[in-house]
Amino acid sequence: MEEGQYVRISTLQYQGLLDLYDADGEASGEVMGLVEEAKASKGHSHKGWWRAYSDVVNQHFDHFMSLEQACIRMTSFQLTLLPGLLQTSAYRRCIMQMLSMAIWKSPLVAK
């Protein structure tokens, strides 16, 4: 899994991970619901997870959502920053603070 290779994880393994992370009943129920939904929609774009949000997602966006579901590998390149999914709020605040200080020290702003 860590190497970006496809790994099949059983429902029992998901439950074991939730127990390991001390997830409460509500969080466990939500995750297991998503697991079951993902298993049910596997290979069926007409049963995609996004269908539950069809009232707020533009119908022209269906194509992109089905591409995401069909994706088996994603590659992201971000120079010197952590990828968005790994950022904590404190990390992001620090980056924004450093960027704002750099902007104010810019020779263009000084003029």
- The model's pLDDT over 23-43, given as tens digits with 9 standing for 90+, comes to 999 999 999 988 887 777 665
* pTM for this predicted structure: 0.40
* C-alpha to C-alpha distance for 84 and 1, rounded to whole angstroms: 19
Per DSSP, the residues of 48-104 read -GGGGGTTTS-GGGHHHHHHHHH--------SSS--GGG--HHHHHHHHHHHHHHHH
57-70 pLDDT, tens per residue? 787 887 788 787 77
3-28 pLDDT, tens per residue? 667 778 888 999 999 999 999 999 99
